[in-house]
Amino acid sequence: MENRSRLFDSLVVGGQPLRNRIVLPPLTRSRATVDGVPTRLMEEYYGQRAGAGLVISEGAVITPQASAYARVPGLYSAEQVTAWRPVVEAAKRDGAVVYAQLWHVGRQSHSSVQPDGLLPKGPSAVPITGYQYRSPTGRIPYETPRELTTPEIAEIIKAYGTAARNAVRAGFDGVELHAANGYLIDQFLNDGSNHRTDHYGGSLENRTRFLHEVISEVARHLPSERIGVRLSPSSDWMDVHDSDKRTLYSTVVRQLNDLGLAYLHLVEPEIAGSTTVDSPADSIPTAELAALFDGVVIVTGGHDQASGEQLLTDGTADLVGFGRLFIANPDLPHRFRTRAPLEPVRPAGVYGGGPEGYTDYPALAASGT
């Protein structure tokens, strides 16, 4: 009995059965074209990882302005939609349910990559301090963003809707809103980055308004049960901080209960973007926030098979994401099932490049799990 692995139990999410509780979480790998068009290489990569019950795409930017880095895919042009189709099909090859992560980086962008060469925009003219922008020629300071005007906010909300519609057209089963890791939605939520005095700033009701308006707009294009939301409640990565994180995030989670979403995706406190760090002092235990949510909860961050099983056993999570393990072990579910050894991630090729460090991690067995 003890041998039975809960990671291989099925679960229905958004009306669709998942064959296991293993999630490929969003992982930016920068293998799209310079115009953000998905490539054949991406098709191969996602096909290799199709054994997950739920595949969430790497962040896909909703407009050219929403991006911070080269070769990140988008979901705003017809060409991108067409090119996503075979990628999504490959990810569905073994029966996975496949969601697109919708991404806008807000103040984490830089004028050097903005289409018009102007400053990036965020909720307020508050720059990121303590971190540096990774430019092709090295690390440089973040700029002071321009404060979004109300009409610009409305345009961005519309763009989320268009991107969601494009995701459906490309074959995705649903979308995940990236409200984590200090990107635009997170910048609106936290009072350290949101100093607005209009109805998008100040009170909790106002700071959560942008998230809710985005969800409402996206829900015009697909059922709410096909929309997930990703939060990183404890992270202060990229200088997101709030005077009362616990109240902020428990309010956000409680509000989401009323919306009938596909899932809530929580990033563990010890994750800073894509790396493991010491948890911030004001961390909120993931179990505490998960318990406030009535629907499906995904937990990602630093987990292996044993700790993933534990999250399912103690009821903290319904699904578990394995990011870096999936980068280096494309057949991760098969390896979990057979208790096979796991490969470590090689630093070369994590972001950008060709097949090396991307599609050249071997599978143990061609059949997967």
Ligand X SMILES: Cc1cc2nc3c(=O)[nH]c(=O)nc-3n(C[C@H](O)[C@H](O)[C@H](O)COP(=O)(O)O)c2cc1C
| Footprint of ligand X (CB under 6 A) | 25-28, 58-59, 101, 178, 180-181, 230, 267, 271, 274, 300-303, 321-324, 350
* Closest listed residue to residue 176, CA positions, set 215, 208, 232, 123: 215
Nearest-5° angle of CA 157, CA 42, CA 24?
A: 70
Q: For residues 19 and 104, which CB has a smaller minimum distance to ligand X in the complex?
A: 104
Provide, rounded to whole angstroms, the least separation between the CB of residue 1 and ligand X: 28
Q: For residues 106 and 201, which CB has a smaller minimum distance to ligand X in the complex?
A: 106
CB atoms within 10 A of CB 129: 10
How far is 243 from 252, CA to CA, in rounded Å?
A: 15
CB atoms within 10 A of CB 160: 28
Nearest-5° angle of CA 102, CA 202, CA 182?
A: 30
Q: For residues 270 and 288, which CB has a smaller minimum distance to ligand X in the complex?
A: 270
Q: Which positions ≥6 away from 310 have C-beta within 8 Å? A: none
Query: Residue 198: left if φ>0, alpha if ψ -120 to 50, beta else—which one?
Result: beta
Q: For residues 81 and 185, which CB has a smaller minimum distance to ligand X in the complex?
A: 185
Q: Which secondary-structure segment (H or E) carries 147?
A: strand 146-147
Provide, rounded to whole angstroms, the least separation between the CB of residue 321 and ligand X: 6
Catalytic residue among 45, 99, 160, 183, which?
A: 183
Provide, rounded to whole angstroms, the least separation between the CB of residue 38 and ligand X: 14
Q: Which secondary-structure segment (H or E) carries 121?
A: strand 121-122
Q: For residues 16 and 101, which CB has a smaller minimum distance to ligand X in the complex?
A: 101
Angle between helices 150-169 and 209-218 (to 10 degrees): 40
Q: For residues 181 and 194, which CB has a smaller minimum distance to ligand X in the complex?
A: 181
Distance from the Cα of residue 251 to its chain's centroid: 20
Annotation says 76 is catalytic: no
Provide, rounded to whole angstroms, the least separation between the CB of residue 35 and ligand X: 18
Q: Which positions ≥6 away from 156 have C-beta within 8 Å? A: 62, 63, 66, 104, 148, 184
Q: Which positions ≥6 away from 258 have C-beta within 8 Å? A: none
Nearest to ligand X by Cβ — which residue? 323
Provide, rounded to whole angstroms, the least separation between the CB of residue 58 and ligand X: 5
Instruction: Decide: 318 and 308 in contact? Cβ < 8 Å.
Output: no
Provide, rounded to whole angstroms, the least separation between the CB of residue 15 and ligand X: 24
| Active site amino acids | 183
